[in-house]
Amino acid sequence: MAGLFANTLRPAILAASRRKGLRRAAERLPVTRSVVHRFVPGETIDSALNSVAALRGSGRFVSIDHLGEDVTDVDGAAATVQAYLELLDALRGGGVIDGVRPLEVSVKLSALGQALDRDGQKIALDNARTICERAQQVGVWVTVDAEDHRTTDSTLSISGDLRVDFPWLGTVLQAYLKRTLDDCRELATVGARVRLCKGAYDEPASVAYRDRAEVTDSYLRCLRVLLTGNGYPMVASHDPQIIGAVPAMAAESGRGVGDFEYQMLYGIRDDEQRRLVDAGNQVRVYVPYGTQWFGYFMRRLAERPANLMFFVRALAARSAHVG
């Protein structure tokens, strides 16, 4: 089932996520939106903060993402910046635990104007700098999300520029890209905070591993580089094989539980998140919120057959109840 899913359904779901008509229809359906709350706790800052409070109460750290991407004009990018400034003001005073900020925001550069035809990279850099300045004032970290492979060079360039003034800035790397091992070596050398994930976009075989086993092997090779480097690795995975390999790899690298963290998505493997926290580990949960949830939600469905089956069953049950 998993192989069939990866080869057929996953590309189809990701293609559907780019259809604007389908997105608009899904966003208007109350039944769909109620099921989406499994992965996206709400559309407002207040709904996000309620989830943050619950997660912090259970000992978990949080990374909050204001959903939105592929902004097509300067005004849209400015609106994203304003949304993040309001979010950061609401998060003020998150504190520090053993040198780690428990509160963080995640930012997609495409939502800050990166893809604009005229000066997109400069606009995104300036907008990201504004967010980082406010984050520094209120005591919250920022991590720059990864998107499809065509943005990688630009994203790493912007992240590098930002780290000059904000050395705590996090950068996301995707293990399914064939270039990522070299990127890990570079960022581990400069001591960056790096969130390593498998990757959620439908990339061509020319630039990405497409077989599940190859992606896992690449992830473990990249993680070993990060753990033996000078930075702060963030192990973003729900894969039991990867999670199970971390303790021995960390011990071999001389890292204690405070020298790295696990990261998982809101609504996925909550019991495992709690188990890791109870064992003394640092665990950060990625909490998305906002009205533009469709692309994020479709990528979650595309990642695992279990997510798609959950959605189909929940949607059928709610439809029957409404009927």
Catalytic (active-site) positions:
145, 195
For helices 120-138 and 74-90, give the axis angle rounded to 10 degrees: 10
CA-based Rg of the chain, rounded to a whole angstrom? 19
Half-sphere exposure of 238 (CA within 13 A, CB side): 18
Which residue shows structure tokens 């606009």? Answer: 123
Closest CA to 47 of 33, 27, 28: 33
Is the distance from CB of 257 to CB of 35 less than 8 angstroms?
no
Q: Is 73 exposed, middle or buried (0-12, 13-18, 19+ CB in 10 A)?
A: exposed
User: Which residues, in sequence order, are CB contacts of 19 under 8 Å at separation 6+?
Assistant: none
Structure tokens at 79: 């609106």
Q: Round to whole Å and give the CA distance between 94 and 104.
A: 9
Closest CA to 5 of 316, 303, 311: 303
Q: Round to whole Å and give the CA distance between 255 and 271.
A: 25
At 197, which helix (H) or strand (E)? strand 193-197
